C-alpha cells in the first residue's frame, strides 16, 4: 500500500512538472492558428498626368487564416514570426472618380517578424503583450479592370499595373488567455506603416499610403522543442 501511495505521489509530481514546462516560460514554443482581418487605412495620392486631377484610389479589406510561431527567449521576451495566405484586396475609385467602381485587384503577402514583451508571470491566466516588428509586403497578381482602362483613356490594350514591394514597421498589442497548461486563446491588433508606388502600363504612377490595421483571434498551443 505504501509503495502504491509513493508511486501515485511520484506520478502526480511528474504530471505537475510536465504541465509547468508547457507554460510560457523561457525555451517554450507557442504556435497559433486563427483568423485575421486586414483593413487598409488609405491615403492616396493622385495618378500622374494625363489623368483627371484628383484621380485617387481606395482599397478594400480581406480576411484570411493566420499562422504564427513564437519562441520565448526569456520568461517575458519572445520572438514571433507571423505567416499566412496572400490577402486579396479590391482597388476602387476615390477622390474625383469616387463611385466609378472596382479598378482592379491585388494580392499581398505580408510576413512579419516581431520582438515582443509579455507582461506578468509565465503562469498567469492572462498575459498582455506588445511587439515591434518588421514587415515585408510582397504584392502579386495585380489585375486591372475595364473601368481602369477607360479612366486612364489609353485607347490601346487593357491597362495593367504593378505595386512596389516594400519593407515597413509594424506595431502590435495583444494578449493570451490560458485555457489549460498547454492551450490558450490569443487576440492581437497590428498596425503597419506602409507606403508604396503604383506603376501603370501607361507610364503613369501613383503614391499610395496603405497603413493597414490587422485584427486577429487565434487558438494557441505551448510546447517544448520539436
pLDDT grade for 1, boundaries at 50, 70 and 90:
very low
- pLDDT at residue 155, as a whole number: 61
The CATH number of whichever domain residue 220 belongs to comes to 2.40.160.20
- pLDDT at residue 226, as a whole number: 59
* Domain of 220, in residue numbers: 2-224
Q: Is pLDDT at 194 greater than 90 in this prediction?
A: yes
Query: What is the pTM (predicted TM-score) of this model?
Result: 0.86
HEC states along the chain? CHHHHHHHHHHHHHHHHHHHHCCCCCCEEEEEEEEEEEECCCEECCCCCCCCCCEEEEECCEEEEEEEEEEECCCCEEEEEEEECCEEEEEEEEECCCCCCEEEEEEEECCEEEEEEECCCCCCCEEEEEEEEEEEEEEEEEEECHHHHHHHCCCCCCCCEEECCEEEEEEEEEEEEECCCCEEEEEEEEEEECEEEEEECCCCEEEEECCCEEEEEEEEEEEECC
pLDDT, average across residues 17-25:
55
Rama region for 202: left / alpha / beta (φ>0; ψ in -120 to 50; rest): alpha
pLDDT over 90 percentage in the chain: 74
Q: Is pLDDT at 45 greater than 80 in this prediction?
A: yes
- pLDDT at residue 224, as a whole number: 86
Summarize pLDDT for 113-155 with one digit per residue, the tens: 999 999 999 999 999 999 999 999 999 999 999 888 888 866 6
Q: Is pLDDT at 20 greater than 90 in this prediction?
A: no
pLDDT, average across residues 81-85:
94
Domain count, the chain: 1
- Of 65-69, 121-125, 144-148, 161-165, the range with the lowest mean pLDDT is 144-148
- pLDDT at residue 156, as a whole number: 64
- pLDDT at residue 154, as a whole number: 61
Q: Mean pLDDT, the chain, as a whole number?
A: 88
pLDDT grade for 35, boundaries at 50, 70 and 90:
very high
Q: Is pLDDT at 12 greater than 70 in this prediction?
A: no
Amino acid at each position: 500500500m505504501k509503495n502504491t501511495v509513493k508511486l501515485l505521489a511520484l506520478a502526480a509530481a511528474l504530471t505537475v512538472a510536465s504541465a509547468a514546462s508547457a507554460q510560457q516560460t523561457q525555451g517554450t514554443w507557442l504556435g497559433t492558428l486563427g483568423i485575421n482581418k486586414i483593413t487598409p487605412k488609405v491615403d492616396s495620392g493622385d495618378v500622374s498626368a494625363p489623368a483627371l486631377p484628383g484621380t485617387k484610389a481606395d482599397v478594400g479589406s480581406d480576411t484570411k487564416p493566420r499562422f504564427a510561431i513564437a519562441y520565448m527567449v526569456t520568461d517575458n521576451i519572445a520572438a514571433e514570426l507571423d505567416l499566412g495566405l496572400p490577402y486579396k484586396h479590391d482597388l476602387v475609385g476615390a477622390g474625383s472618380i469616387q463611385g466609378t467602381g472596382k479598378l482592379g485587384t491585388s494580392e499581398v503577402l505580408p510576413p512579419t517578424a516581431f520582438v515582443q514583451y509579455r507582461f506578468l508571470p509565465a503562469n498567469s491566466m492572462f498575459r498582455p503583450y506588445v511587439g515591434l516588428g518588421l514587415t515585408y509586403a510582397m504584392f502579386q497578381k495585380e489585375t486591372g479592370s475595364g473601368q481602369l482602362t477607360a479612366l486612364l483613356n489609353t485607347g490601346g490594350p487593357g491597362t495593367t499595373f504593378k505595386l512596389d514591394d516594400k519593407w515597413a514597421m509594424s506595431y502590435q498589442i495583444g494578449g493570451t488567455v490560458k485555457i489549460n497548461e498547454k492551450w490558450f486563446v490569443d487576440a492581437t491588433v497590428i498596425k503597419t506603416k506602409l507606403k508604396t508606388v503604383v506603376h501603370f502600363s501607361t507610364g503613369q504612377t501613383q503614391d499610395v499610403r496603405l497603413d493597414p490595421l490587422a485584427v486577429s483571434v487565434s487558438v494557441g498551443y505551448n510546447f517544448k522543442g520539436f
